[in-house]
Amino acid sequence: MKINQLEKKYNKIMKKSETFNKLYKENSLSKEDVHTNPQGWKILTRSGIEKIQYNNNIDVSFDIISHELDNVVIKATAYMKNKKMESFGSATKENCRNTYKVEMAEKRALARVIIKIMGLTKTLGEDEIKYQK
């Protein structure tokens, strides 16, 4: 790789790191709200997601897409200033060990839409990572 390409790659990595550090400070996040997994992904806890939502005046609405015994899908729509984002959360017997699948799908949808509207990359909600262990 040429030096110029390495510089660009380094600058891109630094920009992502700076973006997350800024978000961390602006939303008064603590160590209990976020951690990094061994692969380098940022993991936001429910409290971290809710702090970001509250501090950025993000309104979220939910729609049930599918509600069956072993398959729940919820769509979350987030509104922040003039931005609108949508994302989905699911809970099935394959990805959720809990019996409260509606609540898990809602938590996943909320985390995904907040992460998405904030423009974060390499970031997951804690419920995503718990299943991947």
pLDDT in tens, 62-81: 999 999 988 999 999 999 99
Query: Residue 127's closest CA among 116, 114, 106?
Result: 106
Model pLDDT, residue 22 = 87
Q: Exposed e or buried b for every residue in 49-58, given b needs 16+ CB within 10 A?
A: bbbbbeebeb
Q: What is the pLDDT of residues 14-42, one digit of tens each?
A: 466 677 888 899 999 999 999 988 888 89
Residue 9 confidence (pLDDT) above 70: no
Model pLDDT, residue 109 = 97
Q: What is the pLDDT of residues 90-100, one digit of tens each?
A: 999 999 888 89
Q: Is 99 helix (H, G, I), strand (E, B) or coil?
A: coil
Model pLDDT, residue 4 = 59
* Alpha-carbon distances, residue 67 vs 22, 63, 75, 88, 90 (angstroms): 38, 11, 12, 13, 10
In whole angstroms, give the CA distance from residue 46 to residue 43.
10
- Classify strands 59-68 and 71-80 as parallel, antiparallel or unpaired: antiparallel
